[in-house]
Amino acid sequence: MSTATTLLRAKSPENGGLLLSEHLLHVADAAEAIAKGRKDLGLDPGLARLGGLFHDIGKAHPEFQRRLTAPRNPLERSFRHELTSLFFLPLVPQAQWESLFDMIVAHHKSLYRDPRGKGLYDFLDMGENFEKTHLDAPSKRWEEWAPQALVVLEEVGIQAKSISRAEALTAFDWCIQRTEQLIENPQLGWSPWKGLLVAADHLASALLAQTPGALPRLFRPADLSPFEPVDKTDSLYPLSQKETADEGKPHTLVTAPTGAGKTNYLLRRCRGRVFYTLPFQASINAMWRRLTEALTGQDVDVRLLHGSSRVVAYRATEEEKALQDKVGAALKVLTPHQLMGIVFATRNYESLLLDLQGADVILDEIHTYGALTQAILFRLVEVLHGIGCRVHVGTATMPTALYEQVLALLGGPATTRITTLTEAELDTYDRHTVHKLPDWEATRPVLTAQLQAGRKVLVVRNRVKDAQQLYNQLQEDYPDTPKMLLHSRYRRLDRADLEGQLKEVFDEQPGPCVVVATQVVEVSLDISFDCMLTDTAPIDALVQRFGRVNRRRLPAAERRLHP
């Protein structure tokens, strides 16, 4: 390794001091793997690799290297290393410049109207002298520092040659013309090449030396056969009997009660990589655990993504945590809000579009969102439809107006497999009896009788304080009965642990127990109790709470209705 290579860094000492040559190779490997994974989009892996090798070569500029170790000075004029990388385009045929330009120029900042005014065209508007600030440096001219950069490029596999000042400036002028062309013709749309490079850069920067080990699994779909019914004639789960073949209908709209097998049906309708959206963190966490368990033994990425996902997955390896928001998962469980960047064209939306194109997207429990979120969801469905996604919508109940609007967005019955249960099948879902009591004191004999009968009891209070007080009282009254308190004021890590225990211990193990909770149990946790004692609440909240009782289907002879 030459002196030039060992001296030039891509990261500051505080951020690991990664060598520039190492970073370029990591990103090039990732870019090539992503292009191979998205070969259906016509992305050339060799060209993608070139983009990775060139994207940050501008970091060899003396000014960038100085700033890596110098104290930050907010008054200094901005230096954009990616713009300096463009001076090295003469090393490749001009036929490749357009794709390389897309990968290099905006992998950190927008071309135009960047929020902080740091895009290429923003600098032009401010009268930037690029020859003075990005070609030359105060300490060295182009002719003095460029040879070091060329050594780095040679060591990562580029056949380098000397680039004259005139050649470098001519290439940069071409880039300015290309920028003007893009600004004047917005109909050219988004750039898959930019999405690819940004995705590769983020992945390599997160994984560093672990990058090569993570690449073989990118864009590898899961085998979803574990979700196929063992017995397709089983009337216990009516959706197991429903057809899932496409027959020219790539999209899905399924309406069925809890316990009918909606999750398995929706997954059986998928043909490739899957984005599974749910409205609440608790239900997302539970679904991620369920899918991870079902796909055990498959060498595929099943990822979790929401605001607290790193907390929920705290037992995962650092590599698994780093990959959560990156491209290429076989199956990703998330909120629809994580996909809305493609609606608003927010930062790095190109990478999200690259990841989503042609995938299966499940929108589960779509009826639970408020009016504003639903409006955005409608637009999201339109965009997903436009980029070739198969969209699958599942719900237990949906207002007619919402149902018709969703169906229209999916293209109507001509492109959508509409699945419902028959009246006879729905009649088998009567699973609750409801009793009204005058006050909480009247619940005591009911609770005692249920626990003595060996049943699992869920108690729901509307206020955290009430839940805490009742739990403390039950600790005294039923000292030998397993109990849990669950509410929204726990720390994220503690709540994630409690939700795991609720599922693995209280839900799955036999014997009596009592769980005291607040509204947190309304959010589609896959748990099933024999009896519930609850405060009065709005009817929609009560319906959600009822869904935690007798949730799982049993053969008709074994069904029991409890208060």
**320 pLDDT band (50/70/90 cuts)?**
low
Q: What CATH topology corresponds to 440-558?
A: Rossmann fold (3.40.50)
Cα–Cα distance for residue pair 513/518, rounded to 1 Å? 17
Cα–Cα distance for residue pair 132/137, rounded to 1 Å? 7
Average pLDDT over all residues of the chain: 87
Q: In the predicted model, is pLDDT for residue 309 greater than 50? A: no
Q: Range with the lowest mean pLDDT among 84-93, 94-103, 204-213?
A: 204-213
Place of tokens 């892996």: 45
Place of tokens 């929204």: 488
| CATH class of the domain comprising 3-217 | mainly alpha
494-521 pLDDT tens trace: 777 777 777 777 777 788 999 998 887 7
Q: Are the beta carbons of 360 and 274 closer than 8 angstroms?
A: yes
Nearest to 366 by CA among 333, 336, 334, 338: 336
Nearest to 32 by CA among 197, 192, 194: 197
- Give the largest Cα separation in the chain, rounded: 91
The pLDDT score that the predictor gives to residue 426 is 80
Q: Do domains 3-217 and 440-558 have the same CATH topology?
A: no
The pLDDT score that the predictor gives to residue 2 is 54
Give the count of beta carbons closer than 10 Å to the beta carbon of residue 336. 20
Contacts of 449 (CB under 8 A, 6+ apart): none
Q: Range with the lowest mean pLDDT among 44-48, 95-99, 145-149, 213-217?
A: 213-217
Cα–Cα distance for residue pair 184/406, rounded to 1 Å? 35
Three-class secondary structure of residue 529 per DSSP: strand
Q: Where are the alpha helices (DSSP H) in 8-92?
A: 20-37, 45-54, 62-69, 81-85
Nearest to 165 by CA among 205, 188, 132, 210: 132
Q: CA dist 222 to 70, 200, 297, 324, Å?
A: 47, 22, 11, 16
12-69 pLDDT tens trace: 999 889 999 999 999 999 999 999 999 999 999 999 999 999 999 999 999 999 999 9
**314 pLDDT band (50/70/90 cuts)?**
very low
Q: In the predicted model, is pLDDT for residue 161 greater than 70? A: yes
pTM: 0.86
Cα–Cα distance for residue pair 55/341, rounded to 1 Å? 24
Q: In the predicted model, is pLDDT for residue 4 greater than 60? A: no
Three-class secondary structure of residue 361 per DSSP: strand
- Domain 225-427, CATH among 3.30.70.1880, 3.40.50.2300, 3.40.50.300, 3.40.630.10: 3.40.50.300
The pLDDT score that the predictor gives to residue 243 is 84
Helix 371-386 / helix 400-409 crossing angle, nearest 10 deg: 20
**274 pLDDT band (50/70/90 cuts)?**
very high
Give the count of beta carbons closer than 10 Å to the beta carbon of residue 476. 7
For residue 349, the one-letter residue type is Y
For residue 483, the one-letter residue type is K
Would you kindly state where each structural domain of the chain is located, as residue ranges? 3-217, 225-427, 440-558
Q: In the predicted model, is pLDDT for residue 479 greater than 80? A: yes
Q: Are the beta carbons of 521 and 498 closer than 8 angstroms?
A: no
- What's phi and psi for 334, nearest 5 deg? -160, 175
Contacts of 468 (CB under 8 A, 6+ apart): 485, 487
